[in-house]
Every structure is written in C-alpha cells, then in structure tokens.
C-alpha cells in the first residue's frame, strides 16, 4: 500500500523533487558546518597552546632554568588564563592547583604533542581538556612544560553557535519553500495561459492558439496550430471534392437518365456506347476523387522509409513492364526517413514510375536525395519526350497528351496535388538523352 500518492501535475512533481532536495542539502550543510567548526576550534586552541609553551620556554631559558623566578606576581596566571605545569629536576609547579590530578599524570608521558582528555571524573576539574606537552633542556637541566585549556566551555560555545546555525537553517528552508513555490507558480503561468487558450478554442471563441508563448512551449503551440490548419484544409478539400463530384456527375447522369426514360427510341448500339461512355466518365471521376481524399498531407509524427518503398515499387513495375529496365540511384541508407505519410509517398513514386514506364523505350531511372532543406525525387525516362509548348500543361487534371496510351490522365495531376499539400514543387525538363525528367522537391 502506497502511503504517498504520486502527484498528477507538473507543479506537484516539482515540489516533490525540489523540496526534499533543498531540505537534504541544507541538512548536509548544517552537519558539515558542525564538523568544520569543531576542527577549526581545535586547531585554533592547539595553535594558542603551542605559542604559550614557546613563550614559557623562552622565559625559562632566560632565567637559567630557575622556575622560582617565573612566579613573581602570578604573571602567567594573569596573562595566559590557561592551566600549566612546569617541572624541573628540583621543582614542579601546577597552576591552578585544582588541575593537579589531571595534569600531573601527563608529566609521565613521553609524547611531545597535543593530548586530549575526555570525560574525566575528578571534582573541581573540567571533564574535557586539551593540553600540549614539550620537554627541553635549559642550562643542562631537563624541563617539561604542559599548557592546557578547558574545552568544555569552548564546546558549549560551539553548541550554542551550532544551535543558532540550525535555527538559521530552518528559516532558510522556510524561505526556500516560499521561493520554490513562487518560482513554480511564476514558471507555470504559460501553462495556465495555454490551458485557458485551449478552453477558449474548445468553446469556439478563438480559431487558433496565440503563438506568443515561451520558447519551451512554442513547438507545441505551432504543432497544435498546424494540426488545426490541417483539419480545416481537410474539411475544405472534402467540401470542394463533394461539390466537384456533384457538378461532374450531374450531366452524365442526366444524359443516361434521359436515354433510359425515352421509350420512343430503341436502345441501339450507338446509344449503348454513349451510355457506356457517360458511365465511364462517372467512374473515372469517382475514382479520381476517392484517390484524392485518401491523401493524408503533412501530419505530425508521420514518416516513411523512401528506400524500402522505392525498391518495392521498382520490383513490381519491373514485372509489369518486363521489357524495360528500372534503375535506382541514391545515397540514402535503409533507415533513412522522410517526413511524408507512407501512402502519399507511395502515390507519388507509383504514379511517376508508372507514367515513365508507359512512355519509356527501354530504361527508367529513379533518383532519391535528401539534404537539410529538401527531399528530392527525380524520375527520368528515355521515351519520345514532350514538346516544349506542352510541358507547362503537364499535370493538369484529366489532360492526356496521347490518347493511345492506357490511362485517364490522372497520375501527374495526383502527384501535383500531393506535392502542393506538402508545400513542395513539381518541375519538368528534358534530359540530354531525350525523354522526360520529372523532379519533385518537398521541404524536409
């Protein structure tokens, strides 16, 4: 059973991630502060103790090793405010005397360094002390000096400072929470604005989302507006197709109906041929409009593998036109993708290659290329070609330059429609070897 429910909003996720991270970092900083404070305090006290031992050593040497001369006026007790022990072969001096049970055992040690005593149980003596011991020779006499300081008072000061640091850390955490909350709300304003725009779009108050959005959300806004444009274009094309279809089939249907309703005339072969021609026109128009409505046009998230589709089509057309050669030239790899819907690309390649196969004498060449700006499809054949004054008419709906070749003149018109939907261009030229070259360029 989950004790904490996962947040469902971006704001909740940010708070869930940022707040524990901020609190953890603040706690780590507080712990590091305590360790550093303790280390710096010890190093500072050790430095002071070494300086005082060096000071005592200097004066003992100046007095010729006579410790009695150093006690005049309790000079060291007033200056140092530390406990100390001075031992020579003839005398041992401890100040203050209450520290004698703690400091006297240190005289037996051979160490010449810092000595830390913890949790001592002697009355009238501190529980924690830090001492520094040094042995030297003054005028041939061995002298041992120990200077010590009560670390309890220092620790209490450290604890108080550390406690105040904890209080400040808590205040900083509260301030951090406020800043994070304010920053999250401020950064989420564009999302709230986008949400409001979507509601207005849903209610019909606006037709497009305002593109004045932060850089992070601008691609999303542009894609949504592009999707809306695509839906509007599809609706407009559907209405236009229905209007064109209604207008195109109305006359042939009226002619066939008139022939069938005229009982005074026999149904001769000529009338049968005319009826078949009229019905053929209706069938051709229906086929053309159905194929046009199948085109997807540019869509977000759709792409195709051009090399795979091209090879499949070339294999199929090679079986359809066994006496002709179909060649492919490209630098693309098998995993190359183009931002074109698969069915649309298949229609473009299929119509261009089929048209070239009909008109070529022996060879059809397909070239595929892709750069940073365009994807390019080039289909060339070695047929009779097209006259210069007729090239500009290629691709017009229903136009055929040779009625002897099977087909209805729809292939190039379909290609032109698809290319225009993708914002591309369709051009025709005559290669040096004759025939016709068709070049398609679509923005990538």
Question: What pLDDT, in 10s, does the model give residues 362-378?
Answer: 899 999 999 888 899 99
Quick one: 121 and 243 in the same domain?
no
Q: Which range (50-64, 269-283, 291-305, 384-398) has the least confidence?
A: 291-305
Average model confidence (pLDDT) across the chain = 76
Q: Are 278 and 256 in contact (CB under 8 A)?
A: yes
Residue 401: band (very low, low, confident or very high) from pLDDT cuts 50, 70, 90 = very low
Residue 1: the pLDDT is 41
Tens-place pLDDT, residues 211-252: 566 677 777 788 788 778 777 777 776 776 666 666 666 667
Say whether both 283 and 329 belong to one domain: no
Residues 18 and 151 in one domain: yes
Last residue within a domain, chosen from 118, 138, 156: 156
Rounded to an integer, the average pLDDT of 385-397 is 67
* Same domain as 139, residue 95: yes
If one compares 118 and 128, the residue with the highest pLDDT of the two is 128
Whether residue 132 is found in the same domain as residue 108: yes
Is 229 inside any structural domain?
A: yes
**Final residue of a structural domain among 293, 318, 349:** 293
Positive or negative CA dihedral for 120, 124, 129, 133?
Answer: negative
For the cut 70, the answer to whether the pLDDT of residue 69 exceeds it is no
In a domain, 163, yes or no: no
Kindly state whether residues 226 and 346 are assigned to the same domain: no
Average pLDDT over residues 129-151: 82
Last residue of a domain, one of 271, 293, 315: 293
Has residue 111 been placed in a domain? yes
Q: Is the pLDDT score of 383 beyond 70?
A: yes
- pLDDT, residue 366, reads 93
Please indicate, yes or no, whether residues 408 and 274 belong to a single structural domain of this protein. Answer: no
Residue 264's domain spans which residues?
Answer: 218-293
Q: Is residue 169 in some structural domain?
A: no
Same domain, 42 and 139: yes
134 within domain boundaries: yes
pLDDT at res. 327: 92
* Least reliable range by pLDDT among 2-16, 99-113, 268-282, 392-406: 392-406
Q: What is the mean pLDDT of residues 164-185?
A: 84
- Structural Rg of the chain based on CA atoms: 49
Contact 422, 298 (CB under 8 A): yes
282 and 313 part of one domain:
no
Q: Is residue 225 part of a domain?
A: yes
The CATH number of the domain holding residue 349 is 3.30.565.10
Whether 286 and 322 map to the same domain: the answer is no
Q: Read off the pLDDT of residues 178-216 as tens digits, 9 standing for 90 and up.
A: 888 888 788 777 777 777 888 887 777 777 877 566 677
Average pLDDT over residues 400-427: 68
Q: Examine residue 162 and state whether it is found in any structural domain, yes or no.
A: no
Taking residues 21-39, report their average pLDDT: 84
Per-residue model confidence (pLDDT) at position 14: 74
Instruction: Give the chain's domain count.
Output: 3
Q: Report pLDDT for 408.
A: 36
Q: What is the pLDDT of residue 265?
A: 66
Query: Mean pLDDT throughout 245-264?
Result: 68
**Domain check: are 325 and 394 in the same one?**
yes
pLDDT of 106 strictly over 90? no
Specify whether 327 is located in the same domain as 400: yes
Give me the pLDDT at residue 365, please.
92
- Indicate which CATH number applies to the domain containing 93: 3.30.450
Q: Is residue 147 part of a domain?
A: yes
- pLDDT band for 440, please (50, 70, 90 cuts): very high
- Return all residues near 428 (Cβ < 8 A) that are at least 6 apart: 386, 391, 394, 436, 437, 438, 439
């Amino acid at each position: 059973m989950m004790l904490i429910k996962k947040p469902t909003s971006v704001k909740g996720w940010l708070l869930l991630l940022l707040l524990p991270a901020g609190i953890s970092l603040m706690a780590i900083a507080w712990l590091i502060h305590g360790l550093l404070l303790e280390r710096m305090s010890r190093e500072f006290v050790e430095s002071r103790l070494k300086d005082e031992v060096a000071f005592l050593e200097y004066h003992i040497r100046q007095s010729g090793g006579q410790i009695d001369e150093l006690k005049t006026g309790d000079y060291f007790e007033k200056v140092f405010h530390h406990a100390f022990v001075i031992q020579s072969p003839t005398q041992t001096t401890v100040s203050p005397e209450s520290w004698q049970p703690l400091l006297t055992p240190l005289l037996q040690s051979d160490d010449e360094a810092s000595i830390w005593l913890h949790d001592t149980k002697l009355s009238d003596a501190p529980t924690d002390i830090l001492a520094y011991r040094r042995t030297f020779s003054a005028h041939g006499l061995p002298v041992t000096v120990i200077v010590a300081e009560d670390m309890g008072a220092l620790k209490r000061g450290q604890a108080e400072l550390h406690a105040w640091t904890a209080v400040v850390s808590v205040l900083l955490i509260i301030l951090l929470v406020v800043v994070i909350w304010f920053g999250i709300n401020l950064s989420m304003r564009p999302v709230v604005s986008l949400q409001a725009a979507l509601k207005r779009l849903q209610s019909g108050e606006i037709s497009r989302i305002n593109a004045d959005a932060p850089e992070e959300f601008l691609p999303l806004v542009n894609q949504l507006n592009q999707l809306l444009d695509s839906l509007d274009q599809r609706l407009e094309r559907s209405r236009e197709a229905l209007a064109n279809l209604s207008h195109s089939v109305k006359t042939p249907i009226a002619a066939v109906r008139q022939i069938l309703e005229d009982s005074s005339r026999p149904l001769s072969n000529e009338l049968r041929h005319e009826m078949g021609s009229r019905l053929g026109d209706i069938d051709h128009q229906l086929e053309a409009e159905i194929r046009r409505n199948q085109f997807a046009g540019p869509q977000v998230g759709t792409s195709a593998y051009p090399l795979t589709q091209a090879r499949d089509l070339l294999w199929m057309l090679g079986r359809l036109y066994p006496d002709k050669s179909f060649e492919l030239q490209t630098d693309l790899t098998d995993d190359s993708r183009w931002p074109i819907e698969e069915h649309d690309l298949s229609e473009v390649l299929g119509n261009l290659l089929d048209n070239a196969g009909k008109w070529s004498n022996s060879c059809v060449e397909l070239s595929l290329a892709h750069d940073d700006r365009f994807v390019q499809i080039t289909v060339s054949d070695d047929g009779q070609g097209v006259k210069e004054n007729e090239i500009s008419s290629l691709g017009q709906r229903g136009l055929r330059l040779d009625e002897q070749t099977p087909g209805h003149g729809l292939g190039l018109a379909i290609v032109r429609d698809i290319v225009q939907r993708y914002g591309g261009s369709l051009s025709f030229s005559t290669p040096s070897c004759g025939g016709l070259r068709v070049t398609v360029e679509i923005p990538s």
